């Protein structure tokens, strides 16, 4: 893929700002566009189908209650794909920035694939707003079991992802899986386990929301990086507005240009290429090992 064409004046202006005394606190908001550069489907928009199922219809509590086997097959596929993917240079650049002790930095990721962690992002400076594919929790109301980092693949013999291809033209129904074929809680032994992600219709973790709010209240955010996301969904849009209203700057990293936004720096192209170029002055001196 060709290198993105970033106007020299845009890059120079951005570099001058991030190396100035006016840029001490940076907030990054990540979306699916960053992970798509690692080969992961976005499951939104035109890519919003897994086999012939609408992925959004599978990501709800009602769908899990109605057919937990189908939902688990979808999420087993996603877990398998995420484990097979590698963090890209964009993840790496942000991870390096998280270890720059001269910058007050926080990343809020809407992604659930764990790629930021695998790039060795500082865990104290990373909030998984929508949870994680690799967190498991019990659905039994009286059970508090939670496994924050389960990377077994497959979780059960019936959830082998090799047959769960991502093909929207495949109209073949998946086999019905009874509850005994699905992951069960090792603590209470009766409850089904579910993915520890935030489904449509569920509230975000107030712990994560509070951490984000506290960061924004305690600090004047000088720069917000909006990466691989449109920033139109709450709470993303509210964070961007807060930063702008406080006089902070915004830089957008996305595939398409927003012609209505004339105030932000816009880096158009593959995020895995534009991010390292844009953040180069802040990450050059940081030594960080990762899977890349």
Number of domains observed in the structure of the chain: 2
Closest C-alpha among 282, 248, 246 to residue 265: 248
| pLDDT computed for residue 4 by the predictor | 67
Q: Are residues 97 and 182 in the same domain?
A: no
Q: Are residues 70 and 95 in the same domain?
A: no
From the centroid of its chain, how far is CA 73?
21
- What's the domain range around 99? 1-39+87-130+204-292
Q: Does the structure show a pLDDT above 70 at 56?
A: yes
Whether residue 191 contacts residue 219, with contact meaning beta carbons closer than 8 Å, is answered with no
Annotated binding site: 138, 143, 185, 188
CA–CA gap between residue 239 and residue 161 (Å, rounded): 37
Q: Does the structure show a pLDDT above 50 at 291?
A: no
Q: Are residues 171 and 266 in the same domain?
A: no
Predicted structure pTM score: 0.91
| pLDDT computed for residue 31 by the predictor | 93
Whether residue 89 contacts residue 259, with contact meaning beta carbons closer than 8 Å, is answered with no
Q: Are residues 54 and 96 in the same domain?
A: no
| pLDDT computed for residue 292 by the predictor | 34
Tell me which of 142, 175, 197 is where a domain ends.
197
Q: Are residues 14 and 157 in the same domain?
A: no
| pLDDT computed for residue 230 by the predictor | 76
Active site residues: 130
Tell me which of 197, 215, 237 is where a domain ends.
197
Q: Are residues 259 and 276 in the same domain?
A: yes
Kindly report the CATH number assigned to the domain that includes residue 95.
Answer: 3.40.50.1220
Kindly report the CATH number assigned to the domain that includes residue 167.
Answer: 3.30.1600.10
CA–CA gap between residue 160 and residue 282 (Å, rounded): 42
Reported as a single tens digit per residue, the pLDDT across 108-167 is 999 999 999 999 999 999 999 999 999 999 999 999 999 999 999 999 999 998 766 655
Q: Does the structure show a pLDDT above 50 at 96?
A: yes
Residue tagged 């059970």 (tokens): 143
Ranges 87-91, 255-259, 276-280: which has the least confidence: 255-259
CA–CA gap between residue 215 and residue 209 (Å, rounded): 10
Q: Are residues 290 and 217 in the same domain?
A: yes
Tell me which of 155, 181, 197 is where a domain ends.
197
**For residue 83, what pLDDT band results from cuts at 50, 70 and 90?**
very high
Q: Are residues 20 and 63 in the same domain?
A: no
Torsion of CA 46, 49, 53, 57, to 10 degrees: -80
Q: Are residues 178 and 282 in the same domain?
A: no
Q: Are residues 121 and 228 in the same domain?
A: yes
Angle of the 89-98 helix axis to the 271-283 helix axis, nearest 10: 30
**For residue 45, what pLDDT band results from cuts at 50, 70 and 90?**
low
Q: Does the structure show a pLDDT above 90 at 266?
A: yes
Q: Are residues 117 and 148 in the same domain?
A: no
- Per the model's pLDDT, the better-predicted residue between 235 and 256 turns out to be 256
Torsion of CA 268, 204, 219, 21, to 10 degrees: -20
| pLDDT computed for residue 290 by the predictor | 38
- Per the model's pLDDT, the better-predicted residue between 261 and 118 turns out to be 118
CA–CA gap between residue 284 and residue 290 (Å, rounded): 15
**For residue 289, what pLDDT band results from cuts at 50, 70 and 90?**
very low
Residue tagged 């386990």 (tokens): 193
Q: Are residues 182 and 253 in the same domain?
A: no
Reported as a single tens digit per residue, the pLDDT across 171-219 is 567 889 999 999 999 999 999 999 999 999 999 999 999 999 999 999 9
Annotated binding site for Zn(2+): 138, 143, 185, 188
Tokens for 66? 């109605």
């Amino acid at each position: 893929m060709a290198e993105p064409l970033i106007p020299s004046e845009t890059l120079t202006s951005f570099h001058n700002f991030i190396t100035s005394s006016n840029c001490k606190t940076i907030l990054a908001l990540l979306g699916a566009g960053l992970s798509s550069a690692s080969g992961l489907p976005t499951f939104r928009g035109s890519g919003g189908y897994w086999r012939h199922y609408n992925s959004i219809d599978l990501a709800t509590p009602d769908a899990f209650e109605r057919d937990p086997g189908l939902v688990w097959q979808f999420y087993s596929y996603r877990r398998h794909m995420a484990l097979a993917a590698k963090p890209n240079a964009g993840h790496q650049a942000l991870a390096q920035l998280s270890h720059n002790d001269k910058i007050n930095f926080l990343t809020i990721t809407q992604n659930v694939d764990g790629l930021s962690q695998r790039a060795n992002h500082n865990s104290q400076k990373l909030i998984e707003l929508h949870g994680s594919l690799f967190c498991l929790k019990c659905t039994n109301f009286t059970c508090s079991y939670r496994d924050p980092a389960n990377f077994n693949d497959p979780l059960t013999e019936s959830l082998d992802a090799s047959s769960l291809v991502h093909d929207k033209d495949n109209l073949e129904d998946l086999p019905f899986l009874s509850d005994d074929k699905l992951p069960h809680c090792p603590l209470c032994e009766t409850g089904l386990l579910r993915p520890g992600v935030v489904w449509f219709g569920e509230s975000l973790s107030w712990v994560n929301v509070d951490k984000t709010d506290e960061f924004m209240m305690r600090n004047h955010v000088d720069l917000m990086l909006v990466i691989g996301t449109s920033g139109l969904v709450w709470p993303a849009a509210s964070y961007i507005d807060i930063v702008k209203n406080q006089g902070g700057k915004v830089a957008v990293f996305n595939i398409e240009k927003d012609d209505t936004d004339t105030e932000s720096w816009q880096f158009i192209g593959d995020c895995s290429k534009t991010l390292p170029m844009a953040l180069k002055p802040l990450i050059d001196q940081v030594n960080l090992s990762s899977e890349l």
